[in-house]
Structure 1
Amino acid sequence: MTINILFAAKSGRWETYQGPLTDALEEAGLDFDLRPDFPPEQVDYIVYAPNSSVQDFGPFTNLKAVLNLWAGVEDVVHNDTLTVPLARMVDHGLTQGMIEWVTGHVLRHHLGMDTHINGQDGQWRTQVPPLAQDRPVTILGMGALGQACAAALTALGFFVTGWSRSEKAVPQVTTLHGTDGLQSALRTAQILVLLLPNTPATTDILNAETLAQLPRGAVVINPGRGPLIDDTALLTALDSGQVGHATLDVFRTEPLPADHPFWAHPKVTVTPHIASATREDTASEVIAENIRRGEAGEPFLHLVDRTLGY
């Protein structure tokens, strides 16, 4: 029996995904019909971007699952019309991209590279950075991306502390959880990396109170979600020297408005939400595998816990 798959995303994405998705579905041995338009009652699966025109799932009466193209699900997880399983995107390409971006910026700040890149003024600066083993790094968020980045950093010799809302065990990483665990994780973080999902419980998790718990001069790196940080509190901490630098890839409003103080602040590096992205070829393989699982009666990969919001 043919599986009807609706591709629901913004205009232009169909052209980039049609080929890779078709190839992956064929490789999985599925009999399918993949289109960007279907009568709702005929759809079995939706390959989904939360900014698509599909916002009411009620008419999709035979829907088996929604397969998100994004790692973040905050824009769909609370949709009351969505009653079928929702899977978020976890794929090798997205994970590897995040590992490379996070590792690169952690090393940049650890080695003090900005001083030499920006300081070509004739001064012979001889300050030697500590070894990685003497530079504590904390990662807030021990999901798939947080664990992958922690593994890469520990392989380089960094002492990594990981924090998550619920208790987790990660090899070679000191793992903490809960309110008391958050305070301990922040207290040692000379470099802090934010990889938490955006939920009501994580909004403004980095605020005036928590920023004050960091070692003075700590570096903040945020490739996670913009609302994790209270922007005003961060700017105040930067101006006071409590935070030495902030490298930010995500923001509450994107693109970041041209008049936002982050652009002109000498202690802020802005990157335009490029830390990682879903790659069409690897993402298509994940989607095809989940559809194969659904048809075989096997558990879906990367299911979202609707009560937690991720």
Structure 2
Amino acid sequence: MTFLYKANTERGAEWARFFAARAPELPFRLWPDVGEPKDVRYLAAWMPPEDVGTAFPNLELIFSVGAGADQFDLSKLPPHIPLIRMMEPGIAESMVEYVTMAVLALHRNLVNYIAQQREQTWHEIRITPAAKRRVGVMGLGMLGQAVLDRLTSFGFPLAGWSRSPRTIDGVDCYAGADALPDFLARTDILICLLPLTDETRGILNQPLFARLPRGASLVNVGRGGHLVEADLLAALSQGMLSAAVLDVAEREPLPADHPFWNHPRILLTPHIASMTSPAAAVDYVLDTITRHHRGEALPGRVDRDRGY
């Protein structure tokens, strides 16, 4: 009975140390050293190997090492094997930190001031009170709710949009396609925390930007596939949007000639908004394995029909 890790090798070495301390009875292997394939019962991966069900005939659980699972082709995973999203607390905390940073940077005109510094321009911009800066979050799962909870303390009017109805104290909640225009019309800083599915791919596009108040700004910490990049560049050029903070891109890393690198209205980071803590991840994985053996419900289990 073996646990196999197939992702960042440096973090994998940390996982190995925590497994040795907390579950010494469970053999732990780092890809590509799989040992005897028939012994592999559990797999943690960012991208699974090809033909995973055939390669590991006795596999019982697959873990995504990230909060999302859209990088998996669900059609190629055996339907009887649960796919588990990473839900250790550190992912939410680091995402909350990043989004708070991004919202405050946009709220306090940091993009403008960075441009002014490059131009050696000393010019103050009048402060907009937080009570007049409306923030909206698309995606009200664990991460979206954690972000909204933290932003409450700053006094922003908050709203959230999701596919199905939610109720969150202090947040105006909108649900479904029919409610999306009203949600967008009241949003000055838009945060995308949606899962990437067939329905949400390309959702950050010109028609959506046109429904935001003119001069609104965007934070995309979902997936690069949510954003139509050409539409963002056009919206920024036309003044439809004033700025964007992007942690994800359609192609990662960005090609050297990509226009995002030097765009004066874009702050860009290399997919680092949230990171799994190896210690907490191992605790989460071992707890999930215990639940699996007991026949209990598994938190983070991906709904194959929804894709998340």
Q: Provide the TM-score with structure 2 as the length reference.
A: 0.91
* Rounded Cα–Cα distance in structure 2 between residues aligned with 1:116 and 1:232: 25
The equivalent of 1:57 in structure 2 is 53
Residues 89-111 of structure 1: CA deviation (Å, up to 9, x unaligned): 11211111110010011011112
**Alignment pair present for 1:108 and 2:100:** no
User: Alpha-carbon deviation of 1:11?
Assistant: 4.6
Q: Deviations over 1:68-100 (max 9, x none)?
A: 211121122523342211110112111111100
The 2-side partners of 1:77 and 1:201 are apart by 16
TM-score between the two structures when normalised by the length of structure 1 = 0.90
Q: Aligned partner of 1:193: which letter?
A: I
1:8 aligned partner: 6
Unaligned runs of 5+ in 2: none
What does the per-residue CA deviation read over 1:239-289, in whole Å, with 9 as the maximum and x for residues that have no partner?
000000111110000101111111222111111111112221221111111
Which residue does the alignment assign to 1:46?
43
Question: Quick one: distance in 1 between partners of 2:110 and 2:170?
Answer: 27
Q: Counterparts of 2:161 and 2:51 in 1: how far apart (Å)?
A: 33
Alignment root-mean-square deviation, CA: 1.9
SS of the residue 1:220 aligns to: strand
Structure 2 counterpart of 1:244: 242
Give the letter aligned to residue 83 of structure 2.
L
Q: Which one of 140, 143, 149 corresponds to residue 141 of structure 2? A: 143
Q: Indicate conservation of the 8 Å contact 2:85/2:301, yes or no.
A: yes
Deviates more, 1:271-280 or 1:190-199: 271-280
How do 1:1-310 and structure 2 match up within 5 A? 3-9=1-7, 11-25=9-23, 31-36=25-30, 37-50=34-47, 52-53=48-49, 55-83=51-79, 84-119=81-116, 121=120, 123=122, 125=124, 127-310=125-308
Report if aligned partners of 1:8, 1:49 keep a CA contact under 8 Å in 2.
Answer: yes
CA distance in 2, matches of 1:73, 1:80: 13
CA offsets 1:178-216 (integer angstroms, 9 cap, x no match): 112211111111000111111111111011111100100
What is the CA deviation profile of residues 43-83 of structure 1, one whole-angstrom value per residue up to 9, with x for unaligned ones? 22222221x53542234333221122111211225233422
Give the Cα–Cα distance (whole angstroms) in 2 for the partners of residues 219 and 39 of structure 1. 51
Structure 1 residue identity aligned to 2:38: E
Measure how far apart 1:10 and its partner are: 5.3
Give distance in 2, aligned partners of 1:165 and 1:284: 31
Number of equivalent positions: 302
Q: Percent identity?
A: 35
User: What's the secondary structure of 1:261's corresponding residue?
Assistant: coil
Contact kept in structure 2, 1:77 and 1:306, CA below 8 Å = no
Q: Please state whether the residue corresponding to 2:49 is helix, strand or coil.
A: coil
Contact 1:58 1:81 in 2 (8 A): no
On the 8 A contact 2:2/2:26 being kept in 1, the answer is yes
Q: Distance in 2 between matches of 1:104 and 1:267?
A: 16
- For residues 93 and 303 of structure 2, what CA distance do their matches in structure 1 show? 24
SS for the counterpart of 1:44 is: strand
Kept in 1, the 8 Å contact 2:111–2:265? The answer is: no
Contact kept? 1:95, 1:148, Cα under 8 Å = yes
Distance of 2:10 and 2:123 partners within structure 1: 51
Q: State the distance in 1 between where 2:233 and 2:164 align.
A: 30
Decide whether aligned partners of structure 1 residues 13 and 115 sit closer, same or farther in structure 2, where only a CA change above 3 A counts: closer
- Cα shift readout 1:3-23 (whole Å, capped 9, x = no counterpart): 432223355543232112333
